[in-house]
Amino acid sequence: MPGSSQREGTAGERTAEQYLVSQGLQTVTRNYHCRTGELDLVMRQGNVLVFVEVRVRRHRGFGGALASVDSRKQRRLILAAQHYLQQTHWDGPCRFDVVGLDGHDRPEWISNAFDAN
């Protein structure tokens, strides 16, 4: 049985997905797992493939949800995205977005939050 943090994370991912769909994105896949990491959501916005990291925090302490995507986390997301791209043979444009959910605030979306360079 999942713990409360895992349940909050799953609920946060659903909330973020619903929010992004309302903003015009389309869901491609959820919770893509590979040896190098996990992608919470893979979505499309027009011809752009969007890798979405969802961060949930109960409160804004220590910088909040968005600040928790540090360089180490970014590297793991990039590796997982590279694996996904190899598996799906996607050769179009892509980007990394982050959606933060702090407490009961509405989702905070940062499009093109970081680069793969």
Q: Which residue ranges form the domains of the chain, and what is each CATH number? A: 4-61+71-103 (3.40.1350.10)
Indicate whether 1 pLDDT > 60.
Answer: no
CA distance 6 to 17: 16
Indicate whether 99 pLDDT > 90.
Answer: yes
List the beta strands (DSSP E) in the chain: 26-34, 37-45, 48-57, 94-102, 108-114
Calculate mean pLDDT across residues 53-81.
80
Confidence of residue 117 (pLDDT cuts 50, 70, 90): confident
Q: How is residue 42 written in tokens?
A: 């893979």
pLDDT tens profile 12-23: 899 999 999 999
pLDDT for the residue numbered 72: 92
Q: Is the pLDDT higher at 102 or at 46?
A: 46
Indicate whether 3 pLDDT > 80.
Answer: no
Q: How is residue 13 written in tokens?
A: 């991912």
CA distance 7 to 12: 8
Stated length of the chain: 117
CA distance 48 to 45: 5
Indicate the residue type of 88.
T
Q: Are 27 and 43 in contact (CB under 8 A)?
A: yes
Q: Are 60 and 103 in contact (CB under 8 A)?
A: yes
Q: Is the pLDDT higher at 64 or at 73?
A: 73
